[in-house]
Structure 1
């Protein structure tokens, strides 16, 4: 074999290896990316879902309004205080008004493209102007109703075109993390 033939073969082998290496780079999955959502934007998204009126067990009417948010980054949770009105659907009964405090996490539900409350816990349920024993019972009932009504409540729904753009770039929404000043949403690579 001549030196020129060996040189051509080496050059061709080098080019084939380089093309294979570049092709392999295209197969490497991109890493996760993070989107920032400010506390003000989050407060705006949450406030759009209120006032919230709900009838529980066809018996108890609950109205929630004026959400006030506070971030709890150390617990990866959000705390919200709401004004509530609660009363029975029976005529002639009196409604109770007070303040409800709860904390929760967030999760993305790909089935309906929604951002939902998760692991809702009532931290405070004030029942002003009611005798102590009755207030305690009402507080337990109110806490149970609030957790039931708010568990998995939708606070935002992504439009289909927003998800198409993310998918076009090879990503889908993943986990939320509460950080000082807002939220971080991890965008994870779509598995193909």
Structure 2
């Protein structure tokens, strides 16, 4: 069953609000995938981090969702290691954005769905987390959902939705 842009936006806002509540209570966000199917939904909490793509694809094959919503906590920061130095470092020793003192922490929720006309619909919510000696403050900010359409994981999730070119291609290959 297709989903409208308004429905997807509502679902994305709802999961994002739950992530914000969880953060306020626990100072962390548990990443979660929400598979929305015809009249049903499955929420997959991922306390150890995002589950691998094969597990996600298997759930999508089983549930045949019209939309998938992902929420989690992300860190953005600039890592300035010369390429020649990074090439010599073991992967585990390469600095990560989450380890940078000037990093920005956000709660991000992205929804992708298959619209009534078969086209993809997108929704996104983001909240900046500002930590200080007085605690954490949450500041919502708007992102154009088109900004993240090139995101590899969002594209992967969109490819799992039935009715799209990738789904048809995968059916022919099997």
Which has more radius of gyration? 1
TM-score (norm 2): 0.32
What's the TM-score, normalizing by structure 1?
A: 0.29
